Amino acid sequence: MAGSAIKLIAGLGNPGTKYDGTRHNAGFWFVDELARRYNGIFKVESRFSGECCKIDIAGSTVWLLKPSTFMNRSGLSVKQLSSFFKISPNEILIAHDELDILPGTVRLKNGGGHGGHNGLRDLHAQIGKDYWRLRLGIGHPGDAKKVADYVLSRPSASDEIEIRRTIDDAADEIERIVIGDMQKVMNTLHTK
């Protein structure tokens, strides 16, 4: 499964120090790791409703974005930046927390439903569903009534280690993701 070159990588999360270490901010953790590896410095860009930086990966210019809107309005920020730079949905990778897979698991996929994830729901409304997703497993609390508190709380120390490990694993594959070699990335990440 070949993909288009990726030109925008957005991490989903909630702004502010109150949410920094929460499960819902796993997407922010991922783009922060890419910025660290590729010497990017995030700057507030009000016209894109978020913090962004431009880095070079595999000889290509890639935008990193952290929406400053709350999770349920993430699509606005992505739409503003992608529209300005004429980036199509299939050239966008969204990194986000995923309740349906366990910590220590990461999955790459294209398209599909939002699965009740408020950030993805807004992305669907703003740019459609044909973007790439990096699904970072955070596990499920086991009761649908506990989901809101669960995603907005910090993971256990052992779960955080597993989440951070999958972020490192995915970051190790970012050059192949950016050039669109998605099947090889899936083969590597999905067998770990």
Q: How far apart are CA 55 and CA 40, in angstroms?
A: 6
Task: Choose, from 24, 114, 124, 190, the residue flagged as catalytic.
Answer: 24
Residue 24 appears among annotated catalytic residues: yes
Q: Quick one: which of 143, 136, 147 has its CA closest to 192?
A: 136
Instruction: Burial-class residue 184 by CB neighbours within 10 Å (0-12, 13-18, 19+).
Output: middle
Residues 6+ apart with CB under 8 A from 119: 12, 27, 71, 72, 74, 75, 94, 96
| C-alpha–C-alpha distance, residues 151 and 23, integer Å | 5
Beta bridge partners of 96: 135
**Which residues form the catalytic set?**
24
